[in-house]
Structure 1
Amino acid sequence: MKEAIIEWKDFSFRYETQQEPTLQGIDLTIYKGEKVLIVGPSGSGKSTLGQCLNGIIPNIYKGQTYGEFLIKGQVAFDMSIYDKSHLVSTVLQDTDGQFIGLSVAEDLAFALENDVTALDEMKGRVYKWAEKLDLLPLLDQRPQDLSGGQKQRVSLAGVLIDESPILLFDEPLANLDPKSGQDIIELIDQIHKEEGTTTLIIEHRLEDVLHRPVDRIVLINDGRILFNGSPDQLLATDLLTQNGIREPLYLTTLRQLGVDLVKEEQLADLDNLSISKGQIQLQTELVKETPALQSLFILEEVSFSYNDRPILKSLHLDIKKGEKIAIVGKNGAGKSTLAKAISSFIQTEGRYLWEKQDIKGDSVAERAERVGYVLQNPNQMISTNMIFDEVALGLCLRGVNEKEIETRVYETLKICGLYEFRNWPISALSFGQKKRVTIASILVLGAEIILLDEPTAGQDQKNYTEIMEFLEELHQKGHTIVMITHDMQLMLDYSDRVLVMVDGELIADTVPASLLSDPELLVKANLKETSIFNLAKKLDVDPLDLTAFYKERREGCKLN
């Protein structure tokens, strides 16, 4: 008989500051040793459920609860946060916010020090988990100096060392490149099997999590559970797309190929699908003219070093007017440094030519009138409280007269779909709307190139689509779009050209379909193939043909 370890029975929760409950009538039992994925759009209540589990609610965020919530048969909200921490260990989305120690070894030992663990036992457990998670060479390093994947391993070791029976992962893939994300999912699966932990994963990136099996998926929206069952059962429905969750790419491609998925029983496992090459009709002779584009911004022999360590190495880049470019590579490849060089945030060696004119001497303000740099988090860019004031700020600082400011701001707000909100406080906007405000504050200065760092990181499908379709509209109006991204599907769907960076060098300048069909290049860049590549292998068709087929079908181009 299965042993219940977590139980919510007709459970509801309302924050003190809100009138309506965030969680409503939750009936959910998690059994000992299960591995459960919790998905839902932004604001669905899934993070609130996790905060109830690890004690942040009600110890930090207060509110009113209804119904029952039990952990190992005990009333959860009667436990102290200290006692609960020995039952539930959490790996946060922001690993930097979780580090305590000055070194990896200190960070791993922190929980044991709090428990006054004997020194010999403490050293033994630190060594055990450092060895298991490949951290022994890093024990003397600062956690903040590590790569994204290494930081996740340190965070995971820091909670595993306490040997809690329940592990909670809050969006563990949010800040990782594709290969590092795949490695973390494999590690979570390994720990789950070896240690027998009860594992809960809260994550938007459903397909990436399903790289390794889960027992169940729980779909939450509007504070209610809409689905609680196996991955195969969920993938056979339309619930994912109806609730703003991106379905696995191979399923979308199979639908484009006209395959009836209703008859399939193992949709979560591509290898076990009964699809064969004879069931599909793949036309690969594509007709799509690519117009010749003019050079807009050229970087020649651009190099940059920090503390005598080369970060950018003799880069040559020709950005053409009207392009949609994706810059990809693992964490630490030099992508963000290249973006700073393009935006004049750092001074480098080399030449910068704008329409053949040398602009290396541009100040940050002058370059911003040509290239607008949009950070990943819009809250880091916002300086005022009101929408109009934020968009007008750059013009005010440049001494533009009041009448021209009003005219230019109103025109830009209309382009960005924000005119009706012009007198609203920014705090009242959604994440996607805030992103539009930051882009508007760039467009109003006349920027022709829009450069975005991870434009959709951590966003559900609704916000993802809103942001990317808005960028498509700006592209149609003549803007050049350059995006730094870890999202291989975003690269495939929304770019025409991809630049691949490895250790400060541009090692490839190609089109998305070609990159995703080149296993050797993907490995070299620490990227990973999409599931279209694996589907092509299963169907015994050319991965390049199938990837191009998907992209052309998505864009509505005619196939001959």
Structure 2
Amino acid sequence: MKQPVIQFEQFTFKYHSQTEPSLIDMDLTIYEGEKVLIVGPSGSGKSTLAHCLNGLVPFSYKGNMTGNLLIKGTPTASLDIFTLSKRVGTVLQDTDGQFIGLSVGEDIAFTLENELVPQKKMHDIVEKTAKLVDIHHQMNYSIHELSGGQKQRVSLAGVMVDEEIDILLFDEPLANLDPATGKYAMELIERVHTDTNKTIIMIEHRIEDALHIPFDRIIVVNEGCIVADMTPDALLASDILSDVHIREPLYTKALKYHQCLVTEEMQPAHIDTLHISNQTKLALQQKMDEDFSTSTQPRANHTVLDVKDVTFSYDKKKIIDSISFQIKAGEMVAIIGKNGAGKSTLSKVICGFEKYSDGTIMFHDQDIRDKTIFERAKHVGYVLQNPNHMISKHMIYDEVALGLVQRGLTEEEIKERVYETLRICGLYPYRNWPISALSFGQKKRVTIASILVLNPSILILDEPTAGQDLRHYTEMMEFLLTLNRQGITIIFITHDMHLMLEYTNRALVLADGKLIADKAPVDILTDDQIIAKANLKRTSLFDLAIKSGMTHPKAFIEQFISHDRKVRKTWQ
């Protein structure tokens, strides 16, 4: 019989900075060797739950606790953070915040060095662990040379090198990975579990991508309470995820929109295992009653950004290789591709953070090569992927107001615009909070608000929805769509394929520094050749359409997107 390794018993926790508890009378038992997925909307308490497991609560985040939390039978109240870290290994969402060593090998060896492990034994352990996570060919690489997926493997190795750790905690491991790398990351976690039988606990918003591997249970947390503790098949057969505004797999949502009964026996946890009856196939082939439009933005007119044969090299290596494209005023365009393809670098070149060697960039028919970063910022706003690289103030209000202060607005004008933007971004209730008290997703919204408040004519956002739950994703994207309809040109760098399908009519696909496609999103995600080159993933809506025998799968995808957006608009 499996032994419990984690036990919450009537556990309640309230941060000192808050009036209400983040976890309320929680009862939860996780057993040795289990794989458990924890999901919930932003602010639900799932991050606090993780902090309690790895000791950040109460050692870094102070608050009041009642009830019991036991790790391997020992109350955490009697343990120090060092002892807890020897039992629960954490792989952070922001891997850059976890590195210590300058090279891959040094970082993996850090724990062993602190424990004075003899050098020969240390080398053997590091090599063995690096092979387990498939990073052994990059042992001498600098951390900064690695892609997002490789960084995640180093973080995992740095935790697993300590053989005493029996519990691995992953905090949104898919948030910053391209679809193919995310798929590989999940397969890596599954292999680690198979080889070591460690207990795996994962917090993740991208449920469909996480379910690429099997989980024993999914725990749904909302408003500090556990609202579901079920097998994946049972949960997806219910309406619980929809009730708490969490995105369920697209194929199960499509079935439910067509009034098809989804049962546990259909094995809906993965599109490959899903059983569809002939009656269900017929129901899916019928059109939805309402009309739909595939256009989500105004007709574009004059060219606002013209990139011609632009090349950028770093240390004699071409990161961007002779890229050309045009962006029309009022367009909403996605830039997609594998980690390290040059997406973020291209944006930095446009904003002036990096100097391109060849080619021309025209903004409203004017060459901007000699324009300073400040001059470009009056027209182009850029929101970085990592919010910690943008934030410079301690308080939320001060961070969002900073740009307006620098532009010389009056205090009253600043207050009005900051409050309006905070409301739009769902941050108004936290306007007097310190930024250090926010989750990664909330910090992301602060950085977006700090740029939106400046009213740029072109807005470039690097992974705008990473770490966001479906409600905040919808609120943010619908707001950005409103700005777009008012004439602001918006460019997304994203790994979220559904965001691209849902909100853009056009996508630029990068692979190895080259532009390999410029076409409609639905055409990209149904083209296996482009998908393979750019580390993308075919939408499960297409797979469902094929599985159901539909003759026009692209129309089915567009129909679903239109209907789904209409449903979610009612949440606002």
Structure 1 residue 239 corresponds to structure 2 residue 249: no
- 1:85 partner letter: S
Provide Cα deviations, 1:178-236, integer angstroms capped at 9, x if missing partner: 11111111111111122111111111211111111100011112221111111122222
Q: Does 1:204 align with 2:205?
A: yes
Q: How does 1:245-324 map to 2 (within 5 A)?
A: 245-262=246-263, 265-275=266-276, 276=278, 277-282=281-286, 291=299, 293-324=301-332
Written as runs of structure 1 = structure 2, the 5 A alignment for 1:19-58 is 19-58=19-58
Q: CA deviation at 1:468?
A: 0.7
Give the equivalent residue in structure 1 for 2:349. 341
| Mapped pair 1:214 → 2:215 | yes
Aligned partner of 1:521 among 524, 530, 535: 530
Change (3 A) 1:422 1:108: closer
Contact 1:325 1:497 in 2 (8 A): yes
Alignment check: 8 A CA contact 1:499 1:510 kept:
yes
1:200, 1:475 → 2: CA distance?
Answer: 39
| Residues 112 and 545 (structure 1), Cα distance of their counterparts in 2 relative to 1, 3 Å cut | same
How many angstroms does 1:423 deviate by? Answer: 13
Check 1:183–1:384 CA distance in 2 against 1; reply closer, same or farther (3 A cut). Answer: closer
**In 1, distance between residues paired with 2:450 and 2:250?**
30
Contact 1:36 1:217 in 2 (8 A): yes
| Alpha-carbon shift at residue 381 of structure 1 (Å) | 4.3
Change in Cα spacing, 1:511 to 1:413, as seen in structure 2 (3 Å) is: farther
2:221 aligned partner, one-letter code: I
**Pair 1:547 & 2:557 matched:** yes
Deviation at 1:363, TM superposition (A): 2.1
Preserved CA contact (<8 Å) 1:295 1:319: yes
| Residues 527-536 or 421-430, more deviating | 421-430
1:120 match:
120
Instruction: Tell which deviates more after alignment, 454-463 or 284-293.
Output: 284-293
- Give me the whole-angstrom Cα distance separating, in 2, the residues matched to 1:423 and 1:58: 22
Aligned: 1:441 with 2:453? yes
Query: Share of identical aligned residues, percent?
Result: 47
Q: 1:416 to 1:114 in 2, by over 3 A?
A: closer
Question: In 2 relative to 1, CA 118–44 (structure 1 residues): closer, same or farther, beyond 3 Å?
Answer: same
Residue of structure 1 in register with 2:104 after alignment: 104
- Structure 1: any 5+ residue segments left out of the alignment? none
Aligned residue pairs total 551
Letter in 2 for 1:442: L
Aligned residues of 2:292 and 2:563 also touching (Cα < 8 A): no
Cα-to-partner distance string for 1:341-392 (whole Å, 9 max, x where unaligned) = 2223333222222333334332222222322222335565456688887677
User: Alpha carbons of 1:358 and 1:15: their partners in 2 closer, same or farther (altered >3 Å)?
Assistant: closer
When residues 264 and 291 of structure 1 are mapped into structure 2, their CA distance, relative to the original with a 3 A threshold, is farther
Q: Which moved more, 1:465-474 or 1:237-246?
A: 237-246
1:155 counterpart residue number = 155
Cα distance in 2, alignment partners of residues 10 and 422 from structure 1 = 28
| Contact residue 299 and residue 330 of structure 2 kept, 8 A | no
Does the 8 A contact of 1:35 with 1:214 survive in 2? yes
Please state whether the residue corresponding to 1:28 is helix, strand or coil: strand
418-427 or 311-320, larger mean C-alpha shift: 418-427
**Match of residue 60 from structure 2:** 60
Provide the rounded CA distance (Å) in 2 between the counterparts of 1:167 and 1:136.
Answer: 21
Contact kept, 8 Å, 1:385 with 1:425, in 2: the verdict is: no
Q: Who is 2:133 aligned against?
A: 133
Cα shift at 1:489: 1.0
> When the two structures are superposed, what TM-score results if normalisation uses the length of structure 2?
0.87
State the shift of 1:76 in Å.
2.5
- Equivalent residue number for residue 464 of structure 2: 455
Is structure 2 residue 492 aligned with structure 1 residue 483?
yes
**AA partner of residue 122 (structure 1):** M
1:94 aligns with 2:102: no
Amino acid at match of 1:343: C
Aligned pairs for 1:219-234 within 5 A? 219-234=220-235
Change (3 A) 1:298 1:260: same
1:157 aligned counterpart, secondary structure: helix
Structure 2 CA distance for partners of 1:309 and 1:229, relative to 1, 3 Å: same
Change over 3 Å in CA distance of 1:471–1:346 after alignment to 2: same
Mark the CA change 1:406 to 1:287 in structure 2 (over 3 Å): closer, same or farther: closer
Asked whether the equivalents of residues 45 and 221 of structure 2 are also in contact (C-alpha less than 8 Å), the reply is: yes
Q: Which residue of 2 aligns with 1:474?
A: 483
- 8 A contact 1:329–1:335 mirrored in 2: yes
- Residue deviations 1:377-427, cap 9 Å, x none? 5565456688887677656656x6x67x97798579768856997996575
- Three-state SS of the structure 2 residue aligned to 1:246 is coil
Displacement of 1:433: 6.0
User: Does the Cα contact within 8 Å between 1:296 and 1:354 map onto a contact in 2?
Assistant: yes
Q: What amino acid maps onto 2:217 in structure 1?
A: R
Shift of 1:308: 1.6
Contact 1:41 1:221 in 2 (8 A): yes
**How many Å apart are 1:329 and its aligned residue?**
0.9
Q: Secondary structure at the match of 1:523?
A: helix
Cα gap change, 1:312 to 1:389, in 2 (>3 Å): same
Question: Shift of residue 472 of structure 1?
Answer: 1.0
What letter is aligned with 1:307?
Answer: D
Q: Deviations over 1:110-144 (max 9, x none)?
A: 22233333333322222212222222211111223
Summarize deviations over 1:126-177 as a string: whole Å, max 9, x none.
2212222222211111223211111111111122221222111111112211
Whole-Å separation in 1 of the counterparts to 2:81 and 2:417:
52
C-alpha distance in 1, partners of 2:87/2:32? 12
Q: 1:392 to 1:62 in 2, by over 3 A?
A: closer
- What SS does the corresponding residue of 2:272 show, helix, strand or coil? helix
Rate the CA distance shift 1:113–1:363 in 2: closer, same or farther, 3 A. Answer: closer
SS at match of 2:478: helix
The answer to whether the aligner puts 1:328 opposite 2:331 as a matched pair is no
Distance 1:409 1:527, change over 3 A: same
TM-score between both structures, scaled by the size of structure 1: 0.89
Question: Distance in 1 between the 2:116 and 2:414 partners?
Answer: 63
